[in-house]
Amino acid sequence: MLEQARSLFHGRYTKYPAVYGVAPGRVEVLGNHTDYNGGYVMSAAIDRVTIVAVGKSDSVRCRVFAQQKGVEASFALDAVQRDPHDRWADYVKGVVVELQKAGVPVEPFEAVVTGNVPIGAGVSSSASLEVATAVALLELHGAELSRWDVARLCRRAENEFVGMPCGILDQFSSLFGEEDSILFLDTRTEEHEALPLPAGSFGLILFHSMAQHALVSGDYATRYRECMEATAWFRERLGEHVQLLRDVSWEEFLRWEAQIPEPLRRRARHVISENQRVLDGREALHCGDIARLGELMFASHESSRVDYENSTPELDVLVNLAKQHGAIGARLTGAGWGGATINLVQEAQMEEFALQVAEEYTRRTGIEPGVYRCHIAQGARALRE
Ligand code: GLA
């Protein structure tokens, strides 16, 4: 793929790139919509990457060509603006703006974006584009930032420039991925840990439902607002220490459950119980108890479906089929309202499982799902030509 990026770059700009930023997509294993609530997440970087090849330019404008879309965006560094017709380029531009704010003297550049992270499948192609852009431009300008700083910078790009109030899960996972390990993160304290999966015996399969039901960013922002309202409701009753839903314990939730109005009750129940599921999942992995991790994944999906209402009929069909066909665990992954499910499956059953679930899904819905075998891979890196 690097070779492809290299020749694509040469074809467009008649020279070779100086640097490549390579950043993986991710799967969210547990911890759905917990990150912007200061909670816990479990995730993994996967072996599908976005590559941003860059080189300095003699022109005053920056040019970025996206191979998957077949379009080029161009902009001047002193007037970087959003473009509703080129939303993909906002992720690149947002990172450029944040790098400038961080004091990196970004010079005009040319870039080519390529890769194999499926778009719209809930594996965060957007964060992988942000992170690949950031690590490439840092290397190109000989600037250094810690991995945490890069993660935060990319999140700010998405919050402030793109306008999506996401948490840090996606950017963190793309940067901190470790081969064959599931990542645990406490988004409040930034404590994190790589938990090795028992070797060889389990694998991850992603089913892309190919059915997007609503304007995801609108629903996402609504849930974000509801969580902040639920937080304020608890703050009034429990005290100023409640800054995010992370600060409400399950026991406290149960004590107040009858009083809190809907839909805040269900939104809070999802986030607070999901935090506990991530902690239980971490414990399960510490003990090598994969069956327990699987149960928690199914329970997480149920909580998303009923309480957070970010599932879709298609995602529910996929999770039910996964259960029937012997998955250890399955759930929607990422924002929801379409996108994909992640399935934890015994290595020996993977092929048969994927085939059966995909066939049955098509029979029931008339839709052919995207099927991806995900290997857990290392995080982002920059490479020099
Ligand atoms: C999207 C966001 C993440 C996280 C997940 C849901 O992927 O970008 O920050 O909130 O949804 O857990």
Cα 36 to ligand 1 centroid, rounded to whole Å:
8
pLDDT digits (tens, 9 = 90+) for 249-292: 999 999 999 999 999 999 999 999 999 999 999 999 999 899 99
Measured between alpha carbons, how far is 46 from 206 in angstroms, rounded to an integer? Answer: 11
Give me the pLDDT at residue 142, please: 97
Token representation of residue 349 = 């059953």
Protein residue whose Cα sits closest to atom 2 of ligand 1: 166
Q: Could you identify the residue written with the tokens 């934890």?
A: 344
Helices in the chain by DSSP H: which ranges? 2-13, 87-101, 125-140, 147-156, 169-176, 216-238, 250-256, 264-286, 290-303, 313-324, 350-365
pLDDT digits (tens, 9 = 90+) for 318-347: 999 999 999 999 999 999 999 999 999 999
Give me the pLDDT at residue 200, please: 62
Contacts of 269 (CB under 8 A, 6+ apart): 253, 257, 303, 307
CB of 338 closer than 8 Å to CB of 330: no
Q: Report whether residue 43 contacts ligand 1, using a CB cutoff of 6 Å.
A: no
CB of 22 closer than 8 Å to CB of 132: yes
Domains and CATH numbers, the chain: 2-27+45-195+378-384 (3.30.230.10), 202-374 (3.30.70.890)
Cα 333 to ligand 1 centroid, rounded to whole Å:
9
Cα 334 to ligand 1 centroid, rounded to whole Å:
5
Q: Where are the beta strands (DSSP E) in 161-201?
A: 181-186, 192-196
Cα 149 to ligand 1 centroid, rounded to whole Å:
19
Cα 374 to ligand 1 centroid, rounded to whole Å:
19
Q: Is 33 left (phi over 0), alpha (psi -120 to 50) or beta?
A: left
> Coil, helix or strand for 136?
helix
CB of 301 closer than 8 Å to CB of 321: no
Q: Could you identify the residue written with the tokens 């306008």?
A: 163
Protein residue whose Cα sits closest to atom 9 of ligand 1: 167
Give me the pLDDT at residue 217, please: 66
Separation of first and last alpha carbons in the chain: 14
Listed residue (255, 241, 291, 298) closest to 274, CA to CA: 298
The torsion defined by the Cα of 272, 275, 280 and 286, in degrees rounded to 10, comes to -170
Q: Report whether residue 340 contacts ligand 1, using a CB cutoff of 6 Å.
A: no
Give me the pLDDT at residue 199, please: 65
Q: Report whether residue 33 contacts ligand 1, using a CB cutoff of 6 Å.
A: yes
Give me the pLDDT at residue 214, please: 59
**Which DSSP string corresponds to 139-158?**
HHTT----HHHHHHHHHHII
Listed residue (294, 65, 43) closest to 183, CA to CA: 43
Measured between alpha carbons, how far is 59 from 81 in angstroms, rounded to an integer? Answer: 18
Q: Is 51 left (phi over 0), alpha (psi -120 to 50) or beta?
A: beta
Protein residue whose Cα sits closest to atom 11 of ligand 1: 335
CA distances from 49 to 136, 355, 380 (A): 14, 25, 9
- Give me the active site residues, please: 170
Q: Report whether residue 35 contacts ligand 1, using a CB cutoff of 6 Å.
A: yes
| pLDDT < 50 regions, the chain | none
Considering the entire predicted model, what is its pTM? 0.96
- Ligand 1 atom having least distance to the Cα of 28: 12
- Ligand 1 atom having least distance to the Cα of 34: 12
Measured between alpha carbons, how far is 300 from 31 in angstroms, rounded to an integer? Answer: 8
CB of 137 closer than 8 Å to CB of 54: yes
Measured between alpha carbons, how far is 64 from 82 in angstroms, rounded to an integer? Answer: 14
Q: Report whether residue 247 contacts ligand 1, using a CB cutoff of 6 Å.
A: no
Measured between alpha carbons, how far is 26 from 180 in angstroms, rounded to an integer? Answer: 13
- Ligand 1 atom having least distance to the Cα of 166: 9
